[in-house]
Chains A and B, each alone.
Chain A
């Protein structure tokens, strides 16, 4: 496989890929906030779609989330890079006219729970039959709970993974969710997949079957449940309730403390003699506590103690650098700033500073590379609220014949 990838190294000047992108020519209208449906839009944008993000005059709530908000929001940047933003107030007649005109030209519509303002049933009638409509809401459109928690962490807990996390911990400590918005972004990936299913089918010789738009009612909790399906199903099928005290496989992922942080390993049967040699501890081979794989797993704490005798005076990089060439799977547990500096991600051009960032702003690409070493990146930073309002209205042209300049002034947010 062609591995070299110098053309896309991190920080390289960003030029829209000259190669065709699979969704070139696809028009997406997104009326959504936070991290779920917008991340679906972001993925479609990376793949070539023209994604128009419709924001209320105050902008997506994600703009105000995170440690550096409102000056900068990592969530907003990550979920909205490459899009165009139009700001309209859908509570006004003029705003609804603009929205209807946008929907009439859409190939794909992304909505979430904030789209209630659209009176969806009425406006969805404007969406052409060829299009796909994806709603992504926390518990689905038919949720009967009066006020469910909808943050990414709560959804991680609602969908079953929180109960299992952190794996190996005593049950007296509370479950935890990642310090990140994983559950929202998970739903975004699933939403992009849903949209692409229809965009694929549409060009598959089945045009006639698309008299009405395809409609997906995705729930973020369903997505979480599906990701933990194997652990969740053990109760349904075997009567055994997995919890976070269960260690799925003791050999997989014990933590080793090192001089400058933590590393983790996989200690399959075949690895033990390699560790003993690496540590120059042949005495351990004959130690009855470690003589078989079963014995080592039964005495895992003692195994870790012996390994840490060797790892604790060494850095993670040393441990990884000595272990990996000997076929011992050991990796450093990286902090976010170390991930940003990781040589592997840099080699593969995973992060990129888009045009106009002019600083340490960056976006992560889709997590795959093509055979030519190239990958699909967003071409621009996430837009300021309403940056493209004028441009998009101009494109709509005759569709907006009913909107006079006077009414437009009343309905359009910043950016004109």
Chain B
């Protein structure tokens, strides 16, 4: 199809914007896409285009944030430049920064559909760890070190179970170690 702006060249760019559910679409040739302030060039392909889309949601002060992901070392600038998220932890660490982009792509929606089989079990264990950690903290504050030590051991046992779930299937048998 022809570019909706100049009507001369073949449209190679499909620009789609969703704001609060309202969809705006344009089919443009590369030249018109560059000229109109859609904020991207196609020289670097999809990643660069996408990276710039990320950038368009961010202010420069946010991009200067020195925060780095503890698992993969990514900063928000790395994610913004590549258009790709560094690891699963980044979605937690940079959630606030990433959400406008995620909402821009998908709309303000929540996942529906399949979940990993062991996810629920792991979430329950994680919730238990959080609860025990809070109790441990309280015990330390109250100088009940015996209780704190007992809670530490309980936390460690559940953390070991979580580690076993993430390792290969062949060593699942060590789960029941109490």
The answer to whether A and B assemble together is no
Residues of B within 8 A of A (CB): none
Residues of A within 8 A of B (CB): none
